[in-house]
Structure 1
């Protein structure tokens, strides 16, 4: 084998350098690509760990803020759902829209009329019963809302962490959201049903000489005395059915929030709030809060009939010496038979006027409080 000169060895070394480095370079490139992909997935799928007590406190504060602002609409909704007030607050929507040949015009006209009548009812309550009557039931409502929202947000946030780690390698998914929302809904309904029972009875109590309860405490004592402790859990089956609304809302909210987060990462290359301007942070906060309202709007329309049934069960009217509504399915049958299917959506307009802004305020406040408390 002929000997190579120094120049030939040098030329061979230069030519072979790219091949010697190719394996290392390609391996590094593969590792970098995998890390980038994993980092992107973590940015989108992952979620910061929040202490359980923070969820509990933030949920209560958010629920309280929303309940105070929207209490008058809750009063109107409850009265429209009951049969005590169905003749007093009678809708005339069908007679106003019967001449229209276009469904879209009918729907718009009917919605406008319901909005007008809702405001009219608020005006009547104010004139006939006074300003304070607009906030009837606010006491038990707050007593119910604060622990209810605290329990709901606490259970949802905590179980989401647990379910994610136990079933999905610490990552979130629609199934994890579904399981967490169902757990939170059932826990909340069981713990707070007696409070909502009292709130409903107080809101349906007429003013003046016919008034049955002096206050919420008097209502509680009366229910236990005449109906027993089990009377405090009337409507619980409908509340469990109603947890479907909360489940659907959480699912829709999480998906909308994921879309907002994904778009933020695509735009900025990260989801770090610290590196965004104040305007950008406020804009995304408004988007997330608005998503909560939209999710509630959709969930409410889909699941609203349970609200009417639950109110009737808690109202517990007597007919011919017997309790008229005795169970979930029986109540559905009686209401539809006597009043028609449209009655299952009685009070929907004030309900939406209350729950949609309520959700926006509640989730927006919840998020702000979480950020503040997480810094402690």
Structure 2
């Protein structure tokens, strides 16, 4: 056998597939951990967003927590958790996997990704995620909007069947508020991924593992907080469109831009930032947790599988 044959690198046709599987598993793990820890804050955020000046129930986060606890019970803070659990494992898996692919695509042949690459990849991955998650969001918001005890609430599956029976699978039913969801996810992930990966690459890492973990967490926390502030008008519009309408039988909130305009005209600019504090409390650390769980899970899988 010739020396050239001996020195020729072995081609492993399964290496790309293996890498994709590792990215998908790590992304799914990140989604499960993040939503499990942050669901109560998501419920509080949604409650603030669906209330208008005509249906205001909660004056502060403390007031909201107190009223939900007293009237609905402690388990009610996990209302609507099944749809995001079912959705977040595949959607986060899809988001991180597609981000890795989009990152290579938007590098345009450069030896390493740039800030623009990270930003465009985050935007594209967020829009992809939005398509997958919207039906689950519709069910989740409907469940979270109900002011009754957790034990009396119908299941997520039953709620999905009610929505389909009443309005079908389209933009009036299980895909209601799709445009708002796409804008929400696109903007959030564009900023989160763009900020996190750019700052992480261009800031000096620590040799100490604890300090390095803290550095990454603070970058993720900052990125998640900025992203939350940037996309919340779309989030409020999504909640209004997908939640119960103010007047039964009349659809007031229909499209994304029209809903934002209606809220602004009737309730002022502050109404477009309803639920901002619980949103930042959820998605600031939540974004950091998600990114770090993904990184560490992927690193472990690459070393042990």
TM range (shorter): 0.7 to 0.9
With normalisation by structure 1, the TM-score equals 0.71
Query: Cα RMSD between the aligned structures?
Result: 2.2
Unpaired segments ≥5 residues, structure 1: 1-49, 91-116, 268-275
- CA deviation profile, 1:251-271 (whole Å, cap 9, x unmatched): 1111111123xx24xx8xxxx
| Aligned-partner Cα distance in 2 for 1:60–1:163 | 24
1:329 aligns with 2:257: yes
Q: Does 1:319 align with 2:247?
A: yes
The 2-side partners of 1:86 and 1:349 are apart by: 20
In structure 2, do the counterparts of structure 1 residues 239 and 302 end up closer, same or farther at CA, with 3 Å as the change threshold?
Answer: same
Tell whether the 8 Å contact from 2:30 to 2:289 is kept in structure 1 after alignment.
yes
| Aligned-residue offset at 1:316 | 4.5
CA distance in 1 between counterparts of 2:198 and 2:302 reads: 23
Q: Distance in 1 between matches of 2:231 and 2:272?
A: 10
The aligned residue for residue 56 of structure 2 is 87
Unmatched 5+ residue regions in structure 2? 1-17
Which structure shows the higher helix fraction? 1
Q: Which residue of 1 aligns with 2:231?
A: 303
- Asked if 1:285 corresponds to 2:225, the answer is no
Alignment of 1:177-192 (within 5 A): 177-192=118-133
Q: Does 1:235 align with 2:177?
A: yes
Large movers: runs of 4+ above 4 Å: none
Shift of 1:176: 1.5
| SS state at 1:322 partner | coil
2:38 to 70, 74, 94: 70
Output the CA distance in 2 between the equivalents of 1:327 and 1:316: 15
Contact 1:316 1:324 in 2 (8 A): no
Q: How many residues align?
A: 283
TM-score, normalised via structure 2 length: 0.87
- Cα distance in 1 for residues equivalent to 2:99 and 2:123: 9
Provide the residue aligned with 2:66 in structure 1. 123
What are the within-5 Å matches in structure 2 for residues 12-91 of structure 1? 51-83=19-51, 86-90=55-59
